[in-house]
Structure formats: C-alpha cells, structure tokens
Amino acid sequence: MSTDALLSRRAFLSAAAASVAVHARGAGAPAAGAAPSVLVSGGAMMRGARFAPSVEEVMRAHFGAVRRLALVLHATHPEERDAMEARLQVACREVGGSTAESLHRRDAEGARALLREADGIFIGGGETFVLLGELQRTGQLALIRERALAGVPCGGSSAGANVSGRRIGTTNDFPVADVASREALGLLPVTINPHHPAPTNDADFRVRAGKIRGYLRFNPGERVLALGDAAVVRLHGGTARLAAGQAWLYEAGRDRELVAGEPVPELIP
Ligand code: ASP
C-alpha cells in the first residue's frame, strides 16, 4: 500500500472510531471531563422583569455565555406561562443576551428538540407537583438530567430548585397533581426547601426549622438544603457555594447556616 493510501486509510479509521464513540455516548450524554453546572434559588429572585440586584451577578456568571436558553415553565399556571416567558426573556437578556424560549410553545417532539439544542436550561417556580408530574410524563426529566450531566448550565428557582434535588420531600406546596414517584433530577444530593424564612422572622423561622427537622427524623438518610428568598447556591467547576442570600443545611440531629463563598462539600453529587 502507498504512503498516501495508508494515511487516508488511517484517517478513515480514526474518523470512523470517533463517530462510533459519539454514537455510543449519545448526543446528550456526558462528554468526557464535563462537570455539572447547577444553580438553585429559593425563589422571589425577580423584581418585575429583572433579576433582583443581589442575584444578577451570579445569574450572569451562570448563564452569561448561554446563547439559547430553554425555559421550563410547567410549574406556572398555563394562563400565565406567556407572561412569565416574556419576563424571563427580558431578565435573561440583561444578564447576557441569550435568547430564551419556553417549552410550552412546542409540541412534545419540539420540546425535546429544544432541550437537546439549548446550551442552557432554566426551570421556573410555581406548583412543584405539577412540574414534577409533567417532567415525568413527557420524559423531559431524564433528558434534562442527561443535558445537565453533559455540562449544560441548568438553573431552577423555587419549584425549579425543588426538582433539582434528589426527591421532593420538603416543598411548601400541596400535592395538587399526582406524580409517578417523588424522585427528581438529582443534580444536587439533597432535598430542597425554598422560601425558608429568615431568622429575623423568628416565629416562621422556628416553625419551618421544626418541620424540616421532623422530616429528617423520618428520613435520616437525607440532607435538606433550605434556601431563603433570593438566595442562590451554585455548583460549578466541582465546588458548590452560597452565592447570594441565606441558606441552611439540615441533617439528622444537626444543622448549620451556610457561609457565603465557602465551599459546601455535602452538595457535591
Ligand atoms: N411554590 C413554591 C414556588 O415555586 C415552591 C415551594 O415553596 O416549595 O414558588
């Protein structure tokens, strides 16, 4: 065989091997070396059509480089999804200029395509059980998880934060819809409680802490990440930190308030 023929045969074989590897991995499967980039907020993170000044910086850091953001607004009442999408489009432009489109505009296949093509995913708040039920029913739960594990920046506020944890257990929501199971995205190894009252609101703070401690007495193997309003925890580059507001980590028999900027090893998946 001539040198040219040998080289082109080698090129063909290595291209074929690369294509087999991509095929085996699947389009949305984890790329080698990709680390999940996950942001959770306790809710109340918007002021009108903008993110609150205290969360703008971390939203910019997380989503600023995203060009096409998929919005998952199943938790919002259907009559309010268009308005919520419009608010988030404005807010997202302010932090980086990405175009944002909600899945609710598309049919089932179109929604899956958007999740596959988007380079960022944001899950909004509202009714947690409606959101989880819809993610399960449509198969979007597995797809979002796959994209997040491939390193696509994902974020969730309130109900969206709840489903970013391992399972639904400490939501403040009523079960207004049935779900196949309480298992959620599992992007953070915790159960999440959003809208956690601040200690300055002593009575509400104590009641909430008591409810979470009670939950953990029955579920001692779980950890609960409680997020105050406009609090943000971000997992990025293999480290999780409180980036804005107040948050607490509850474990059976002990709990602590997180310190802004300090790594929280318990939140590493
Ligand atoms: N209903 C809340 C929200 O998404 C979720 C919760 O409080 O658990 O705003």
Catalytic residue status for 158: yes
Instruction: Walk me through the domains of the chain, giving residue ranges and CATH numbers.
Output: 32-267 (3.40.50.880)
The CB of 161 under 6 Å from ligand 1? The reply is no
Catalytic residue status for 195: yes
Helices (H) and strands (E) in the chain, counts: 8, 13
Question: pLDDT digits over 116-151, tens only?
Answer: 999 999 999 999 999 999 999 999 999 999 999 999
What's the pLDDT at 98?
78
Q: What is the mean pLDDT of the chain?
A: 89
Kindly give the distance from the C-alpha atom of residue 173 to the centroid of ligand 1, in angstroms, as a whole number: 6
Question: pLDDT digits over 163-182, tens only?
Answer: 999 999 999 999 999 999 99
The CB of 229 under 6 Å from ligand 1? The reply is no
Q: How far apart are CA 132 and CA 130, in angstroms?
A: 6
Q: How far apart are CA 199 and CA 136, in angstroms?
A: 36
| 94 class by beta-carbon count within 10 Å (0-12 exposed, 13-18 middle, 19+ buried) | middle
Q: What is the pTM of this model?
A: 0.88
Q: How confident is the model at residue 159 (pLDDT cuts 50, 70, 90)?
A: very high
- pLDDT above 80 for 18: no
Per DSSP, the three-state class of 233 is: strand
Helical H segments across the chain, by residue range? 3-25, 53-63, 81-94, 108-117, 128-138, 140-149, 159-162, 202-218
Segment 185-191 mean pLDDT? 98
- Mutational test site, ligand 1, from 157, 172, 212, max ligand atoms within 8 Å of CB: 172
Q: How far apart are CA 207 and CA 211, in angstroms?
A: 6
Question: pLDDT digits over 52-110, tens only?
Answer: 999 999 999 999 999 999 999 999 999 999 999 999 999 999 898 679 999 999 999 99
